[in-house]
Amino acid sequence: MSKDLITPIMRVQIELAIANARHDPHAVRLLEEEAKHLALSGAEIDAAKRGGSFDLLVDIAVNAHWRSKPVTTRQAWSRVGN
């Protein structure tokens, strides 16, 4: 049995970064609700929307490259090993 590479919290943080970078307010609102349900703090949600995280692995996955150009969801997932 293999261990999942991405936790539900990591997935939401990555998807928040993508949705915010794509200027998709509907997706951002839905993801913020899911993040709150997963017990992410407001600061963690804000960091994810800016393309960062307090979690090193998530920060690496969403940080610098996405700030410079838009990406598709497929490209984003490929960067985190899926």
pLDDT one-digit tens code per residue, 8-55: 998 999 899 889 989 999 999 999 999 999 999 999 999 999 888 888
CA separation for the pair 25, 44 (Å, rounded): 18
pLDDT value of position 27: 96
CA separation for the pair 9, 64 (Å, rounded): 20
pLDDT value of position 4: 72
Query: What are the tens digits of pLDDT across the range 58-70?
Result: 787 776 555 555 5
The three-point CA angle 54-8-66 to 5° equals 55
